[in-house]
Amino acid sequence: MKFLIFKLFISLIILAVALMGGVAYFGYTHFKTPSTNAVEKLVMVPKGSGIMMIADQLKAEQIISDSYTFIVASKILPPRDTIKAGEYQFQPHTSMSDVIAKLKKGETYKRKFTIAEGLTSYTILEKLKTVPDIGITEIEIPAEGSLLPDTYQYEKNETIVAIIARMQAAQKKLIEREWPNRDQNLPFTTIDQALTLASIVEKETGVAEERKRIAGVFVNRLRQGMPLQTDPTVIYALTNGQPQNGGQGPLGRRLLSKDLEIDSPYNTYKNIGLPPTPIANAGRDAILAVLHPEPNDFLYFVADGTGGHIFAKTLAEHNQNVANWRKIRSEQ
């Protein structure tokens, strides 16, 4: 009798081991086998989601093949980190082991957008409204010059208000870090004035190597009490920073001589000194150019027909350069 009981006991142990082995094999197979999902998918794991909810969500999306295996594996296998909320991108046929590793490392999908230098705050706000999966909320046009052009990452459904706040914080951090290191004896005394001049430099040239030189020209003019006489400030006066011409340039036409007579504090042909505010949002390089302008004797510059400019120290030399530019433009 005892022998029979012992034999039955052994048989039960063998059966249990076999069952456990089968379960382990079943789980391991699901754990390592690529999923049946055949397309790239984005899945949002909301904050506060329980492990069962996450497993069911991934199973429904065919990212994993078995919820139970996922739950057990995520709890007992290293790393012991918890699954992090966020939006995740899963490639076709990703294995469960890779899915768990991605979720525990928090390798969320990086959405991003880029804002070019020299755009007005109105234009930036309009561009943000076209970025995919951004939460559109009511917001006033940010202060001109308060946003830092750059490439930014964002989360799905993040609001424009939050994104604008990040862009303003980035600009504030940059200028407050660089302002104490500025060159001495510059002809402006406040951060706002520096950003105003930087916005003008940004609008005057798209050639990186010219920014410091053009900043130097405007610094020379400010020191001598000369009007800056820069077209972008007149354009800003005409548009109030809100061009609505379908992208055909800020005015949709060339600036005319009569435009230079507009009565506006932004008209630097009629007013000496800087405009009352920036006329656009300057990038990092333009801001640094204004804080560290090139020491030079130039007082004038005009387009050279290739995207850059020709610089002059005297009005006579400048007038000749202007005549050459007009000839090039007429031939074009």
Which residue ranges make up each domain of the chain? Answer: 33-109, 111-170, 184-331
* The pLDDT of residue 127 is above 50: yes
| pLDDT range class, residue 326, cuts 50, 70, 90 | confident
Nearest-angstrom CA–CA distance, 201 and 268 = 14
How confident is the model at residue 307, as a pLDDT?
A: 83
* The pLDDT of residue 224 is above 70: yes
Report the phi/psi class of residue 234: left, alpha or beta, with left for phi > 0 and alpha for psi in -120 to 50: alpha
* The pLDDT of residue 26 is above 90: no
Overall average pLDDT of the 296-321 stretch: 91
* The pLDDT of residue 281 is above 70: yes
* The pLDDT of residue 2 is above 70: no
CATH 3.30.1490.480 fits 33-109, yes or no: yes
Nearest-angstrom CA–CA distance, 308 and 326 = 15
* The pLDDT of residue 282 is above 50: yes
* The pLDDT of residue 29 is above 90: no
Nearest-angstrom CA–CA distance, 330 and 332 = 5
**Mean pLDDT across the chain:** 87
Beta bridge partners of 302: 310
